[in-house]
Amino acid sequence: MTDDEFEEMKKHTIYGRNAIQTAERKFGEGVNNRFLQFGKEIAYTHHEKWDGSGYPEGLHGESISLLGRIMAIADVYDALISQRPYKPPFTHGEAVSFVARSKGTHFDPDVVEAFLKIHEEFRKIASDLPDLEK
């Protein structure tokens, strides 16, 4: 991607948050609000990094929503094991190693430790729900 394309791509966190805010306004008060609030936090913060080098706000550490910190690992794991036009898929082991190496920089150390305890569940889910061929 060019720099301009990358800057545009990063806006998906804002677009996702804004779309959910629109849904909140539409549905108003009620049982859906907590669910929508969680979705909004995840959409907006899942690309923030523990060391502050992420986006959209450059948040760091515990100033990042816990939901965003958890989703960051799930999102990166999925991106790594998935085929992309610019890369072949990583193996499960390679993805787990990447997450482990990124402890304290990209990812919350405590969330990485939790992931490392259950990473085989990620493998099982990925195996049970593979990407569809296009």
Q: Of 19, 71, 63, 30, whose CA–CA distance to 47 is shortest? A: 71
pTM of the predicted model as reported, rounded to 2 decimal places: 0.90
Tens digits of residue pLDDT in 48-72? 999 999 999 999 999 999 999 999 9
DSSP string, 28-97: -SSTHHHHHHHHHHHHHHTT--TTS--SSS---GGGS-HHHHHHHHHHHHHHHHS-BTTBPPPPHHHHHH
107 three-class SS: strand
Q: Are residues 24 and 36 in contact, defined by beta-carbon separation less than 8 angstroms? A: yes
What single-letter amino acid sits at 109?
A: P
Amino acid letter, residue 91? T
Share of the chain above pLDDT 70, in %: 94
Whether 47 has a pLDDT exceeding 80, the answer reads: yes
Residue tagged 């502050």 (tokens): 52
